[in-house]
């Protein structure tokens, strides 16, 4: 059986990448799912353990790092985040596609281990849009917003390292852009149209 595609999606805080991915998955015609990352951060409103993230204690996270359970992991904004091997390798072995919603550090690590991964960077046209979206969330205090905006500027410098760029100034257009990229991964070599 052919291995399922691995699609890495990155973008700075406020890029809307999680919303774009969520909307794409709702209407997906492919065997495709989002890998659920593990994190040591606290859940935000409406986030559910095992659905949005695996919310772990720092001790549990360290144990899994020692056990080699992660495909990639990093410290971001004061918390640990990681992609579990089982979330990626098992579905791909069944021919299913996996989307990773990870930062630029994690994407670089996964590219080394999975050179067949297709990478997509999602961003808005300008940093002001990212800031406005962060403020609308209502889940961050001012120091957290400033920290995320500083990190966003650094992440934007990595956009050229990705195979594809999706501009998310218009949500429907961004979803269509990601859908076209994903479609090509599933339709490679099987003669189907996207």
Q: How many CB atoms within 10 Å of residue 40?
A: 19
Residue 114 lies in a domain: yes
Residue 125 lies in a domain: yes
Residue 192 lies in a domain: no
What CATH number is associated with residue 65?
3.40.50.300
- pTM recorded for the entire structure: 0.85
Q: What does pLDDT average to over the chain?
A: 89
pLDDT category of residue 191 using cuts at 50, 70 and 90:
very low
Cα–Cα separations (whole angstroms), residue 110 to 32, 93, 118: 18, 17, 11
Q: In which element (H, E) is residue 30 found?
A: none
Residue 193 lies in a domain: no
- Check residue 44 and give its pLDDT: 84
Residue 144 lies in a domain: yes
Domain of residue 161, residue span: 6-187
What confidence tens digit (pLDDT) does each residue in 70-94 have?
999 988 778 999 999 999 999 999 9
Q: In this prediction, what percent of the chain has a pLDDT beyond 70?
A: 95
What mean pLDDT comes out for the span 42-47?
87
| Domain tally, the chain | 1
- Check residue 138 and give its pLDDT: 67
What confidence tens digit (pLDDT) does each residue in 127-164 have?
777 677 777 776 677 887 787 778 888 888 999 999 99
Residue 4 structure tokens? 């399922």
Residue 127 lies in a domain: yes
Residues constituting the chain: 194
pLDDT category of residue 193 using cuts at 50, 70 and 90:
very low
Residue 1 lies in a domain: no
Cβ partners under 8 Å of residue 155, min gap 6: 10, 11, 12, 103, 104
Residue 194 lies in a domain: no
Q: Which residue has the higher pLDDT, 112 or 187?
A: 112
Q: Residue 69 above 60 pLDDT?
A: yes
CA distance 90 to 102: 19
Q: What phi and psi values does residue 192 have, to the nearest 5 degrees?
A: -85, 150
């Amino acid at each position: 059986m052919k291995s399922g595609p691995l699609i890495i999606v990155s973008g700075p805080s406020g890029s809307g990448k999680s919303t774009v991915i969520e909307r794409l998955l709702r209407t997906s015609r492919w065997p495709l799912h989002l890998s659920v990352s593990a994190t040591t951060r606290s859940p935000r409103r409406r986030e559910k353990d095992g659905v949005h993230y695996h919310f772990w204690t720092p001790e549990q996270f360290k144990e899994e790092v020692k056990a080699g359970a992660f495909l990639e992991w990093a410290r971001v904004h004061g918390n640990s985040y990681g992609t579990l091997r089982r979330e990626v390798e098992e579905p791909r072995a069944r021919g299913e596609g996996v989307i990773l919603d990870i930062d630029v550090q994690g994407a670089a690590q996964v590219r080394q281990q999975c050179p067949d991964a297709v990478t997509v960077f999602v961003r808005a046209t300008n940093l002001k849009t990212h800031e406005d979206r962060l403020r609308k969330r209502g889940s961050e205090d001012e120091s957290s917003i400033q920290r995320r905006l500083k990190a966003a500027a650094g992440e934007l410098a990595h956009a050229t390292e990705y195979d594809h760029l999706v501009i998310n100034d218009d949500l429907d257009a961004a979803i269509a852009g990601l859908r076209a990229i994903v479609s090509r991964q599933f339709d490679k070599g099987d003669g189907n149209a996207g």
